[in-house]
Structure 1
């Protein structure tokens, strides 16, 4: 069942609650709904996490937690899902976001060479920045919507399958 599979990978809620970057939320983390795992909380948490995974900002985990709290979706899932973009997956994901942005804005894709410098970053804000940001928002929205419905379908399928197995 999907719930048991997801629960195997979730960290202990006390460990997440006492994580140094999440302490800014204080007593808000004591809401039991943030730790409960059901279809509604899982699909919403995946949507929140996937959205912030595609947004190129620092502290994506904190932003995912900040949105998970008022939406009352599963906090560990929303924070963990952000790690879809990690140092290995970030370059291809963000390059695809840039390409989506160029198509959305109707601009031709520019060839660029990445440099790890502040000056390159400032220069790229005017050249590739708009397409990259627009593409990131489009990809984030599509990923969140897709994740929401895929988790919902997988959850419903696993419940239906478990129900049929019990009747056999």
Structure 2
């Protein structure tokens, strides 16, 4: 019995030690959340002020009337010169005559134009107008199925060496 009494007493002391801290605070209030702050309404913009009155401008003084000049007499009629002959789409000489010349040009793409090319090509192109000579070279280059983009600059340089003048933006007709 003494064992049960000692065990009961120990249990009672353990229970009291856990109960004592809860009895130490007689009243613990529950925390309250603070109320959200009140928002102030945005300030209203000031009313717009009326624009300042504009003064009315004074009308300018009337200008004196200007005398009307006599129209100049019409210039005398000058007849228009006939338009330059547009190059035809065909070469006026036989392109077979230019074959040897174009063969020389094909070999001179990387080297440059020499006296041999001038001696063979300039006499053939000599009797042609500037644009006709360029047209004949273009036709012959196309007939030989050569790369016209590579040979054309050399051909145009040959035309200049032969005394022909072409526009700087000349392109072979397609």
TM class by shorter chain equals: under 0.3
- Normalized per residue, the structure richer in helix is 1
Larger Cα Rg: Structure 1 or Structure 2? 2
**TM-score normalised by L of structure 1:** 0.21
Larger relative contact order (CA 8 Å, sep ≥ 6): 1
